[in-house]
Structure 1
């Protein structure tokens, strides 16, 4: 429990640092939700009035995602191993939108966690890339503008339950109905030794 609290504190610090920018108003403005199925800002995350173009400011709020919900989603998609503890903290700490982490030469987009359906984007990501999961690569984010999935390589887990981070170019995967680990390994482009390193490298 203490480790989870520490991880949740790190997640809050990372998100606050990400949104602490002169572009905050842009990052924290998105189309408002207009019906149950769309991906707009849920009402309880909205701040102020919806403008004439249908956009609204939003704010992070405490997450309502439970451990049972995360574990059920892992089981639904037959994950070979659980998500890293720090990613679990990301899923269960804040409802948040529009998180695109910027590094020197690339950007990684984490799944949106809206308050009305927080795990929908992650469910879609895992559903889309089930053949990768079957070979030990678990998608958890996207590279650049949906250029391909960012994944954990679960074949060499660390002692703390984390994994090396790689990404696959979507174009390299097109046209293959199924893959073997031997076919995928040369296409896995390394990014970070772990998810924790990926996040902490952004902090001052």
Structure 2
């Protein structure tokens, strides 16, 4: 059960963090993206567009307050995570801070920069805010069933960044790892034990992942 007071605090934290992230010398680049030209494409929806679409079909965009609800997020979790037979996935819930990220603002182009690598969080456009996360889970069923829950992408989509739901902490958050796509493809149907061998540790939690990136947002 989500604690509403904690969720509101986390949403305020996310909004403040996003404001700091986009307060950058690279703001003009970060806040430009291809415009949505077809119903099913992944461009900037009309209500997020901030100005005219240029000749290359790019447009500046703006953040908007999100209308995503906790019920919608829980529905997604129930559909993709709890459908697995593995005990790790059946007991999984999203870290509260990630629930706050999904339900605070519609936002694009969030790349967390660290020394030697970047991590890309899912885009949350106003028309299909949970689509990228849904697609990530749909394409990672073996990881999900083994208790590794994808929530971001490592370094130009080299592989999924996941929570290890077998390692929760006191804040209902999880250790963060990543998997190389090439290794997952080579292994075919890896067991939990094999995946533990291939999991490359990154952070103790999603909160730490955001906090450690904050000094990079202004570089």
Q: Indicate whether the TM-score tops 0.5.
A: yes
Q: Which aligned pairs between 1:23-62 and structure 2 lie closer than 5 A?
A: 23-62=26-65
TM norm structure 2: 0.90
- 5+ residue gaps, structure 1, are none
Q: Give the stretch that moved more between structures: 111-120 or 4-13.
A: 4-13
Separation in structure 1 between the aligned mates of residue 152 and residue 134 of structure 2, nearest angstrom: 12
Q: Which aligned pairs between 1:1-204 and structure 2 lie closer than 5 A?
A: 1-79=4-82, 80=89, 81-203=92-214
After TM superposition, give the deviation of residue 74 of structure 1 in Å: 0.5
TM norm structure 1: 0.97
Say if 2:32 and 2:60, in contact at 8 Å, map to a contact too. Answer: yes
Name the structure, 1 or 2, with higher relative contact order (CA <8 Å, separation 6+): 2
Equivalenced residues, count:
204
After TM superposition, give the deviation of residue 84 of structure 1 in Å: 0.3
Q: Alignment RMSD, CA only?
A: 1.0
- 5+ residue gaps, structure 2, are 83-88
After TM superposition, give the deviation of residue 172 of structure 1 in Å: 0.8
Q: Give the stretch that moved more between structures: 127-136 or 4-13.
A: 4-13
After TM superposition, give the deviation of residue 10 of structure 1 in Å: 1.2
Q: Give the stretch that moved more between structures: 71-80 or 181-190.
A: 71-80
